[in-house]
Chain A
Amino acid sequence: MAKVVVLGAGISGHTAASHIRKKLGRKHEVIVVSPSEYYQWIPSNIWVGVGRMTIDQVRFKLAPLYKRWGIKFEQAKAVAIYPGGNELNNKPYVSVEYTSSGKKGEKADIEYDFLINATGPKLNFEATEGLGPGKFTHSVCSCDHAVETWEELKTCINRMKNGEKLKFLIGTGHPGATCQGAAFEYALNMANEIKRTGMMNQAELIWITNEYELGDFGMGGAFIKRGGYITSTKTFSESVLAEYGIRWIKRAGVTKVEKGLAYYETLDGEKKTQEFDFAMLIPAFAGSGMKAFNKNGEDISNTLFAPNGFMKVDADYSGKPFEDWNIEDWPSVYQNPLYKNIFAPGIAFAPPHQISKPMKSPNGTLITPAPPRTGMPSGVTGKIVALNIVDMINKDQTDFRHKASMGKMGAACIVSAGFGLFKGQAATMTVFPIVPDWEKYPQWGRDLSYTVGEIGLAGHWIKLLLHYLFLHKAKGYPFWWLLPE
């Protein structure tokens, strides 16, 4: 009997747990450890943040589903991994601290044969002074945050109705933040809602980003066929922002936020400020903060994790110069090189390097987006890790059949730009591969025949369809396994 422990029940962890449970016989045990009692479909948080969906439309409780599936659910936070066990017991285990109301603060050790670290990112608001909910800015990174953000946005709309002119600042809240796509979506949806209430004349909308050029999205931008030209996502993104009445500040790393004032440094080293009445800024991401210890209780976190807290996997971490980066540097099976029974799919794995070219200001501040790994790559990597573990258990196979490198995987990003079955619209962007392959596609880095960039009602329908399909899949409704990641 094998015991598989999955840390995290987000897109990657939940996908991995569901496929392992489906493929493995009941004699094997599957345990999911997650600090939240809910699964949330994060891409739809944007709509919660503008009041178009309620919090319960984007989340559901995990415990009843896992009970039905025969998965043991521990509502707890993983604190430390002991990959070689301890002095008394050779069996590897994870130390957890319960977060459920009945057992809050209690600690336990959970043994494993296989460990999937799918803890996702820690929303590192602390990396920017004054950033985040409860301080001076808002967020849509979790559904709870999105609810608070909508409450504040409503207040701002009412203030504008009473004649006030307000400034809205949306974008990235740290020089190394990623997930520009989510902030971009929020900016467009917010502009759409303000326009709908007839308050555009009272609002100044500002997009602030650490991207070198708009449309970089942490993947070095992309080129798309559009209107008879091959054009960059810079032109595409600028066009969308201009259409929605949003001006922009680029090459800007937000370093500190005070009430109504964001401090930022630009790539040319200038230190500037931007006033705001409402700000939604995405924080930097970091690893979950788990530690690792050897049998003697010595801290071996730096062998398991990269300095940013993300887990090392089968990638090339030699720190090559930008010009030598290659798609082969990227992991394909997400297996820890030292402990072969530990895997880290989704956002939890440490990228070997950035995808966007690293840029530093004269003061030495790195102002470059981190690589995006949310959404589709998270689900796909969760699934292939699950299938490979199943092969290891059932067939004793260590030659992995299932692989998914970001250098060989495409991604579709549906950027919502307004809600409504007939009045909504979204920008549909697809790229293949996510990490540019300059050897295979020397001119554009990617296969242009796969690349799309267009705006329209169809994009909104797709985004809405994905919301319902992925929740159907996540809830384990009939034929859920037929839906691809």
Chain B
Amino acid sequence: MSKNIVRGYYEESYPPLPTKATKFWRRNIAKQVIRFFILNLRIMRIIVGGHS
């Protein structure tokens, strides 16, 4: 007896899932080094602007 694998009809079936390429870039050292500096700058901007 075969069981169909049905995607859908469950909440967890609907959100977007990362593609192989997205997963690759998430751990690509060169890209992540750049993102590291960009994210740090954004965080610093929030910290500096947040209190006087």
Contact = CB atoms under 8 A, between A and B. Distances in A.
Interface of A: 235, 238-239, 241-243, 246-248, 376, 380, 383-384, 401-404, 408-412, 422-423, 425, 428, 430, 432-433, 450, 452, 454-459, 461-462, 484-485
Interface in B1-52: 10-18, 25-27, 29, 31-33, 35-36, 39-40, 42-52
Contacts of B44: 484
Contact of B10 (A247, A432, A455, A462): A247
Grouping DSSP codes into helix (H, G, I), strand (E, B) and loop, the A interface class, with mixed when no group exceeds half, is mixed
B52 A403 contact: yes
Contacts of B36: 458, 461-462
Grouping DSSP codes into helix (H, G, I), strand (E, B) and loop, the B interface class, with mixed when no group exceeds half, is helix
A235 B11 CA distance: 11
A476 to B, nearest CB: 20
Contacts of B15: 235, 238-239, 241-242
A433 B51 CA distance: 11
- What 10 A-B pairs have minimum CB-CB distances, sorted nearest first? A410-B46, A404-B51, A238-B15, A409-B50, A458-B35, A458-B36, A239-B15, A456-B26, A457-B32, A458-B32
* Best-surrounded residue of A247, A411, A430, A456 (most CB of chain B within 10 A): A456
A408 B26 contact: no
A452 B45 contact: no
Contacts of B39: 428, 452, 454, 458-459, 462
Given A384-B51, A455-B26, A458-B32, A238 B12 contact: yes
26 contacts: A238-B15, A241-B12, A243-B18, A247-B12, A248-B11, A376-B47, A384-B51, A401-B52, A403-B52, A404-B52, A409-B51, A411-B46, A422-B27, A422-B29, A423-B27, A428-B39, A432-B50, A450-B49, A454-B35, A455-B26, A456-B27, A456-B32, A458-B35, A459-B39, A461-B32, A484-B47
A263 B48 CA distance: 44
A70 to B, nearest CB: 26
A372 B12 CA distance: 26
Contacts of B32: 456-458, 461
Contacts of A428: 39
A428 B46 CA distance: 13
B12 to A, nearest CB: 5
Given A248-B12, A461-B32, A410 B50 contact: yes
A246 B39 CA distance: 27
A430 B39 CA distance: 9
Contacts of A410: 46-47, 49-50
Contacts of A384: 51
Contacts of B43: 412, 430, 462
A430 B50 contact: no
Given A380-B51, A456-B26, A456-B32, 7 more contacts: A238-B11, A239-B15, A383-B51, A454-B35, A457-B29, A462-B39, A462-B43
* Best-surrounded residue of B15, B26, B31, B33 (most CB of chain A within 10 A): B15
A404 B35 contact: no
Contacts of B18: 239, 243, 455
Contacts of B26: 425, 455-457
Contacts of B27: 422-423, 425, 456-457
A484 B40 contact: no
A235 B16 CA distance: 8
A239 B17 CA distance: 6
A222 B18 CA distance: 21
Nearest to A250: B11
Contacts of A238: 11-12, 14-15
Contacts of A411: 46
A456 B33 CA distance: 10
Nearest to A231: B16
A242 B40 CA distance: 27
Contacts of B46: 410-412, 430, 432, 450
Contacts of A484: 44, 47-48
